[in-house]
Amino acid sequence: MNSKQICIYDTTLRDGTQREGLSLSLEDKIRIARQLDELGIPFIEGGWPGANPKDVQFFWRLKEQPLNQAEVVAFCSTRRPHTTAADDQMLQAILAAGTRWVTIFGKSWDLQVTAGLNTTLEENLAMIRDTIEYLRSQGRNVIYDAEHWFDGYKYNPEYALKTLIAARDAGAKWLVLCDTNGGTLPHEISKIVRDVIEKTCHQKGEEGEEGGANLPSRSGHFMPSPSSPFPIPQIGIHTHNDSETAVANALAGVLEGVKMVQGTINGYGERCGNANLCSVIPNLQLKLGYTCIEEDRLTKLSPASRLISEIVNLAPDDHAPFVGKSAFAHKGGIHVSAVAKNPLTYEHIQPEQVGNQRRIVISDQSGLSNILAKAKSFGHELDKQDPTCREILQLIKDLESQGYQFEAAEASFELLMREALGYREPPFELKGFHVYCDMLQEIEGAYRNCMATIKVAVNGQEILLEVAEGNGPVSALDRALRNALVQFYPEIANFYLTDYKVRILDGGAGTSAKTRVLVESSNGKQRWTTLGVSTNILEASYQAVVEGIEYGLLLRSPKNKIVNSSS
């Protein structure tokens, strides 16, 4: 295996789904698997066949419509104590999944064997050997996940190594060291991985690499050969984030000779999550010179991260390294000015390398450099001496003093800038609205009877009157507006609200306090945020909702982009 090649093993569809509050349908799992396949991930762990009907159906579907390059992996434990692998129905379900590769996990920690499995240490070794030998006899290639490896090694290194050697001698292609409890630190990872490689991978292949014969997979990555004799397997690592060191631990393992890293997209996983592949991959590839996925596929990392967060119905982490919306955002005037001259002054990589983009954040701390940079991102070159620049800057400062926060609502800022530059052409105009809520009438077991009436002008002339009900005043208003406009703009049917935030700006004013409303909208591919500010929460809400629809329509066609005034 190429010494600079790292196999990435994604377990979002199994370990990632153990995150509290995360649940996937069969269609969700299929969509995520195809996204990972397109990203170039070589191993995709699909779930535990037999554990639930959904995972069984998942493997059936992918047998009917295979992925392009990735190996789909079925996951299971070793056989039960005091049985045989051939008689274990759980392993029959694994074979029925029809995958070339199977991941089996077994116990490495003597405490887990005696207290968890309630069996003997020798029986645990037999379970590991018997399970792997049986699956190998059935033509499967086995990845062995050594569960609780690092804890087991710390407490009883002699026994932990016996479990690993049992898996190796039974024919496992990979030995994956798992920090299951997430409590190990990078310096411990380094030392233990060194020990493992020295004691279990002491033989060398013909070209000096650990592991002997290899062959290219469908993805072009080099993996242990399913058909060649492979007495000495490669080492992998699987880390959890309970100590906030999962990514650092994975990198430490690679630097000591690990050839596979297991993790999840966006770090999803049980408790505090797994090693975040959205950080692991660019760190290995861009910082340490390893090859994980093809370079042109690396540019799909940020879109993949955001799409998968949409599928699992969790808001993207704006501050996530590499792929987050704020990962390359610049707010301070000095930073913005420096980045405009040379991005390396405040960026550790080019955002385009991971499919992200640079953002200039606008706030009351902005200087002229922010305004110039933001206008340029919209395609409009402004001169620093242009009085429009200072007018926009002053307007921003005045509005933010009233409670607006354009830092969190860039869509509203773009609309404001378009208006200042004379490019804003609203596709509709709200002429008025009325909201009625009956809080006492019970409908279908819930007190929710809100009705909104709106009057809207389209194309500057046609006046429409629309009524809609909703489970709240904002919902009713949003529905009425969409019902009126969708006949003119069918794409509105694909818009939906993904977040709605209300903040009281001056709590001392009681019920007369000024309110800021942030509305995040999406068309399924992009997200944008708009805002409204008023002492009337409904007025603030309608401002944000109306601008959200207007901005969504702005994204529909390249002709709506601001063009350079010189063109």
Q: 173-218 pLDDT, tens per residue?
A: 999 999 999 999 999 999 999 999 998 865 433 333 434 334 334 4
Q: How far apart are CA 375 and CA 377, in angstroms?
A: 5
| Of 293, 325, 359, the domain-final residue | 293
Indicate if the pLDDT at residue 393 is higher than 60.
Answer: yes
In a domain, 383, yes or no: no
103 in a structural domain: yes
Domain end residue (candidates: 237, 266, 293):
293
Mean pLDDT lowest among 78-82, 158-162, 517-521: 517-521
484: DSSP letter: H
List CB contacts of 107: < 8 A, sequence separation 6 or more. Answer: 78, 113, 116, 117, 124, 147, 148, 152, 163
User: Taking all residues of the chain, what is their mean pLDDT, rounded to a whole number?
Assistant: 86
The verdict on 288 and 432 lying in the same domain is: no
pLDDT, greater one: 422 or 74 = 74
**What is residue 213's predicted lDDT score, i.e. its pLDDT?**
36
39 and 185 in a single domain? The answer is yes
Strand order in the sheet with 496-504: 496-504, 515-522, 527-534
Range with the poorest average pLDDT among 91-105, 266-280, 445-459, 462-476 = 445-459
Q: Where are the alpha helices (DSSP H) in 422-493?
A: 473-485
Q: How far is CA 470 from CA 438, 482, 487, 490, 497, in A?
A: 11, 12, 20, 21, 14
What are the Cα distances from residue 341, in Å, to 335, 359, 498? Answer: 10, 15, 36
Secondary structure of 24-59 as H, E, C letters:
CCHHHHHHHHHHHHHHCCCEEEEECECCEHHHHHHH
Q: What mean pLDDT is predicted for residues 120-141?
A: 98
| Distance between CA atoms of residues 133 and 448, nearest Å | 61
Record the pTM. Answer: 0.70
Per-residue pLDDT, averaged over 448-472, amounts to 84
pLDDT band at 441; cut points 50, 70, 90: low
135 lies in some domain: yes
Q: Is the pLDDT of residue 98 over 80?
A: yes
Mean pLDDT of 76-104: 96
Any long-range contacts for 22-30 (C-beta under 8 Å, 24+ apart)?
A: 22/268, 22/312, 22/314, 24/311, 24/312, 25/54, 26/54, 26/57, 26/58, 26/61, 28/311, 28/312, 29/54, 29/58, 30/58, 30/61, 30/62
CATH number at residue 533: 3.30.160.270
Average pLDDT over residues 107-121: 95
For residue 226, name the pLDDT band (cuts at 50, 70, 90): very low
Average of pLDDT values for 333-354? Answer: 88
Q: For 16-45, what is the mean pLDDT?
A: 95
Kindly list the distances between the CA atom of residue 314 and the CA atoms of 131, 317, 339, 443, 487, in Å, as whole numbers in the listed order.
37, 9, 32, 30, 31
Greater model confidence, 561 or 491 = 491
Q: Of 261, 293, 325, which residue is a domain's last? A: 293
- Sign of the alpha-carbon dihedral angle for 137, 138, 141, 147: negative
Mean pLDDT in residue range 423-446: 75
Give domain status of residue 411, yes or no: no
In a domain, 97, yes or no: yes
Kindly tell me if the per-residue pLDDT of 397 is higher than 70: yes
Distance of alpha carbon 530 from alpha carbon 409, whole angstroms: 5
Residue 337 lies in a domain: no
Residue 57 has pLDDT above 50, yes or no: yes
With CA atoms as reference, report the closest residue to 477 among 524, 445, 432, 532.
432
Residue-level pLDDT at 11 = 98
User: What confidence score (pLDDT) does residue 196 get?
Assistant: 94
Specify the length of the chain in residues: 567
pLDDT of residue 407: 66
413 found inside a domain:
no
Rounded CA separation 384/342 (Å): 18
DSSP per position, 101-131: EEEEEEE-SHHIIIIII-S-HHHHHHHHHHH
Two structure tokens written together for 264: 């999840």
Checking if the pLDDT of 232 tops 70, the result is no
Q: Taking a C-beta distance cutoff of 8 angstroms, is the pair 522, 495 a contact?
A: yes
Q: 391 versus 252: which is more confidently predicted?
A: 252
Average pLDDT over residues 354-378: 75
Question: What's the pLDDT at 473?
Answer: 86
Tell me, yes or no, whether 432 and 287 share the same domain. Answer: no
Give the per-residue pLDDT at 507. Answer: 60
Residue that is written with structure tokens 């694994």 in the block: 94
CA geometry: angle 35, 36, 42, nearest 5 deg: 150
Q: Tell me which of 139-148, 258-267, 407-416 is least confident.
A: 407-416
pLDDT of residue 147: 97
Q: What is the torsional sign of CA 132, 133, 138, 142? A: positive
Number of domains the chain is built from: 2
Q: Does residue 434 share a domain with residue 289?
A: no
Q: What is the DSSP letter of 415?
A: H
- Look up tokens 């049985």; give the residue: 83
pLDDT more than 90, % of the chain: 54
**CATH code for position 173:** 3.20.20.70
With cut-offs at 50, 70 and 90, classify the pLDDT of residue 231. Answer: very low
Q: Please report, for residues 155, 230, 509, the alpha-carbon distance to residue 224 in angstroms, rounded to integers and kept in the order given.
A: 31, 7, 68
Under the banding of pLDDT at 50, 70 and 90, the label for residue 448 is low
The domain in which residue 460 lies consists of 428-560
Q: pLDDT (tens digit, 9 = 90+) per residue, 268-313?
A: 999 999 999 999 999 999 999 999 999 999 999 999 998 898 788 7
Residue 408 maps to a domain: no
pLDDT > 50? residue 227? no
